[in-house]
């Protein structure tokens, strides 16, 4: 009987350890998701700036001719 109790306590410790690790993984995924959102925003701003410069170049060329 004593051996079963010890085994149950070890299984409980294992479950707690696994839960803690899954919580850490969830926090990492949240951080990665935030980084991806930041990169998408940066990508949009870079494309917007590029398009604005191209339009400005075309306007300049059209006004010079």
Chain segment 19-61, per-residue pLDDT in tens: 999 999 999 999 999 999 999 999 999 999 999 999 999 999 9
Q: How confident is the model at residue 62 (pLDDT cuts 50, 70, 90)?
A: very high
Tally the C-alpha atoms within 13 A of residue 4's C-alpha that lie toward its C-beta: 1
State whether residue 65 is helix, strand or coil: coil
Mean local confidence (pLDDT), 2-13: 74
Q: Which residue has the higher pLDDT, 6 or 65?
A: 65
In the chain, % helix, strand, coil (3-state, to 5) comes to: 95, 0, 5
Q: How confident is the model at residue 9 (pLDDT cuts 50, 70, 90)?
A: confident
């Amino acid at each position: 009987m004593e051996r079963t109790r010890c085994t149950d306590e070890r299984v409980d410790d294992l479950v707690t350890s696994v839960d803690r690790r899954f919580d850490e993984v969830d926090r990492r995924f949240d951080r990665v998701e935030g980084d991806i959102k930041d990169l998408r925003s940066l990508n949009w701003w870079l494309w917007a700036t590029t398009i604005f410069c191209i339009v400005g170049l075309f306007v300049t060329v059209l006004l010079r001719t």
